[in-house]
Structure 1
Amino acid sequence: MEPAALRDDMVDSLEYDAKGVVHSDAVGLALREVPRHEFVPEEQRAYTDQSHEHAGTRILSPTSVARLFEALDVESGDAVLVVGAGVGYTSAVAAELAGARNVHAVDITRHVVYEARSNLADAGYGEVLVDCRDGTHGLSEYAPFDRVLVEAAAIEPPRALVDQLADDGRLVMPRGAAGQTLVSVDATGDVRDEHGPVAFAPLLVEGEQAGALERNRTDREDRERAQAAVGNGWEHEWIDWD
């Protein structure tokens, strides 16, 4: 089956009541347009509703991506910052919604940044800017941003990211540790909306990334965080399987 047909089937499943995570025409169209197989190494699995571990990072499932962008509410022409860009898939969806030249992305791991740049170029979104830096610092030279998407969890929104929001901007992030909630935050740092439970990896700071010469988090802490996350995925609480 052609990739476009597989994407249509994927989005149809996200729109149906059983999942019901795509509500807006804009998000549905963006997911139908982005060639997800350019970002997922196993092409035959690119359009299944699963996350994938690759290059030391996680490629989010289509359901997770849909939930993030429904909460983010990106409009054409918005200046968008993606923190924790991974291999670039969510940045591509943001590019479909806002325009590639309006999307900026950062990731703390250098080899992941290189892969994101390559993937985005191959998928037709080469104008997206991807930089290697500590995402908690944002990208001040391109601020203010109308929308900031954080693809990793933190107890509170990083102050620098809030400061880089436009006055009417919105930041969406998983908030919490073992028990996380997807939240929308305004330019004052206040939570304006909650969008249900989620389970994301923690937001890394300099020294914690894979391959760093010096890590702030110990291997034991990594194991404890992983164990705490088991059984706390949103899938078990958020969907009424009956």
Structure 2
Amino acid sequence: MYEVPRHLFVDQALATRAYDDVSLPIGHGQTISQPLTVARMSEQLFAQRQPGKVLEIGTGCGYQTAVLLKMGAEVYSIERLGAILDKARQNLRAAKLVHARLVHGDGHFGLPEAAPFDGIIMTAAARNIPEALVEQLAEGGRLIMPIGENDQHLWLIERTSQGLQKTRLDPVKFVPLLPGRS
């Protein structure tokens, strides 16, 4: 987290608040997650394992992508809003982190052509676990995501040889996972 210059991922007008532990607006009704949440989700995704190949749902400004790259993950990231994705590309270039594969698409469907993934991280809240994402998770892989509408919690879903193991974690507040792309 210390190696990623968070101020590069927020609007210049908010740069003085870049290192506060708060979420900040990034435009188009989207936010950059608070640093503690980014750290917690990354920690749970990689706990006691190598990063491997990771799918991120919701590229946003690219900050979570940058953290995943710095942790050694091979990152594929999907963003539904083209303007936000363009800004993420600029932010990642400014941070000299250009080796993520960024895709303009609908996160509900994941990225089957690149599956299976050792980890999937979703940065928008869904009402339930998208089946397409579970199918793209490698055995032993982990999916971390917020679930809920008004009352949201992080959930860790692990694919084991016996099936899925689900663990409810911290209360959180994320923008909703929306369908389609624009």
TM-score, structure 1 as length reference: 0.68
Q: Which runs of 4+ in 1 moved over 4 A?
A: 74-77
Counterpart in the other structure of 1:48: 20
| In 1, Cα distance between equivalents of 2:31 and 2:165 | 26
| In 1, Cα distance between equivalents of 2:51 and 2:130 | 24
Counterpart in the other structure of 1:123: 95
Q: Of Structure 1 and Structure 2, which has the larger fraction of its residues in helix?
A: 1
| In 1, Cα distance between equivalents of 2:151 and 2:3 | 33
Shift of residue 37, structure 1, vs aligned partner: 1.2
Distance 1:122 1:90, change over 3 A: same
Structure 2 residue matching 1:202: 3-state secondary structure? coil
Counterpart in the other structure of 1:178: 150
Amino acid at match of 2:15: E
Structure 1 residue matching 2:31: 3-state secondary structure? strand
CA deviation digits over 1:48-95, x for unaligned, max 9? 112110121101111111121122126545101110110100000000
Shift of residue 139, structure 1, vs aligned partner: 1.0
State the identity as a percent: 39
Kindly tell me the number of residue pairs found equivalent between the two proteins: 176
Q: Which has the larger radius of gyration?
A: 1
CA RMSD of aligned residues (A): 1.7
Counterpart in the other structure of 2:43: 70
Gaps of 5+ in 2: none
Structure 2 residue matching 1:146: 3-state secondary structure? strand
Counterpart in the other structure of 1:28: none
Structure 2 residue matching 1:38: 3-state secondary structure? helix
CA deviation digits over 1:173-192, x for unaligned, max 9? 11122111111112377343
Counterpart in the other structure of 2:86: 114
The counterpart of 2:55, out of the listed 67, 74, 81, is 81
TM-score, structure 2 as length reference: 0.90
Gaps of 5+ in 1: 1-30, 213-242
Q: Of Structure 1 and Structure 2, which has the larger fraction of its residues in strand?
A: 2
Q: Which has the higher contact order (CA 8 A, sep 6+)?
A: 2
CA deviation digits over 1:121-152, x for unaligned, max 9? 11011011111000011111111110000111
